[in-house]
Amino acid sequence: MKGGAGEILHTAMNNKILIVDDEKNIVELIRLYLEKEGFKAVCAYSGDEALEQFKSQEPDLIILDIMLPGMDGWQVCREIRKTSAVPIIMLTAKSDTFDKVLGLELGADDYMTKPFEAKELLARVKAVLRRIEPAEQVHSKEVSFTNLVINIENYEMKINGEQVDAPPKEIELLYFLASNPNRVYTREQLLEEVWGFDYFGDSRTVDVHIKRLREKLERAEADWQLKTVWGVGYKFEVKK
């Protein structure tokens, strides 16, 4: 297999996250969860301090509360967007649609309301970082095995040297599994990794996509297969 498999769909650890909230217990909770997952956390408790930390620390992502002493989150977001496209997740007690739309229009990448689950916030952090992962961090956009090549950049799949048409989600699903050979994933994990954390559809959609992929792949004589692990999920099995 070519290159560093699976890097395009995995969040790089050691990213620096700036947490901005005037409630110190919330900052501490988020910091603990992030550091447990290998992220580096930087904290700020006001809008002015947030801008100072942004300029000095150059974070990879910002978790930004709206209701802050002094300069509020809206103003902080506006100032940052004048010079940077760093991803911003708004974290706030404001749940009105107007506030959500305003945050997104100002350039926020995601929006969560309080109270929140730290695990969900962590999942959203990873999802946003995966979406904006710079090209220089991507080691390979193509994986290949016997009689199979999948290119995620061009959304192309070749079987026995011939290009085969497939919907984007089928290609993304196969690319993800093939990038992590012999590793078993549950349906829920595949939904999060391929469809995104915000997907609220039936987990059986994974079964449907696997079935369609198998129909396309059955023509290839190879040392690999899309295998069902009963009671668990699926894996791209490569014979050793």
Bridge-based pairing state of the strands 142-145 and 110-113: unpaired
* Topology agreement, domain 7-135 and domain 142-238: no
Sort 8 into a burial class: Cβ within 10 Å, 0-12 / 13-18 / 19+: buried
Top-level CATH class of 7-135?
A: alpha beta
Please, how many CA atoms are within 13 Å of residue 162, restricted to the half-sphere of its CB? Answer: 7
| DSSP code, position 71 | S
Best CATH choice for the domain 142-238 from the list 2.60.120.10, 1.10.8.640, 1.10.10.10, 3.30.470.10: 1.10.10.10
Could you state, in order of their start, the residue ranges of all structural domains in the chain?
A: 7-135, 142-238
What distance in Å separates the CA atoms of residue 109 and residue 133, rounded to the nearest whole number? 13
pLDDT for position 203: 74
Q: What are the phi and psi torsion angles at 88 (to 5°)? A: -130, 130
pLDDT for position 26: 93
> Do 175 and 150 touch, CB atoms closer than 8 A?
yes
Amino acid at position 54, single letter: F
Amino acid at position 191, single letter: L
Q: What is the mean pLDDT of each run of 10 residues along the chain (240 residues)?
A: 38 76 94 90 95 94 92 90 87 66 70 85 85 53 90 90 89 92 90 72 83 91 89 88
Within the chain, strands assigned E span 16-20, 40-44, 61-64, 88-92, 110-113, 142-145, 148-151, 156-159, 162-164, 185-186, 224-229, 233-238
pLDDT for position 116: 85
pLDDT for position 11: 41
pLDDT for position 219: 85
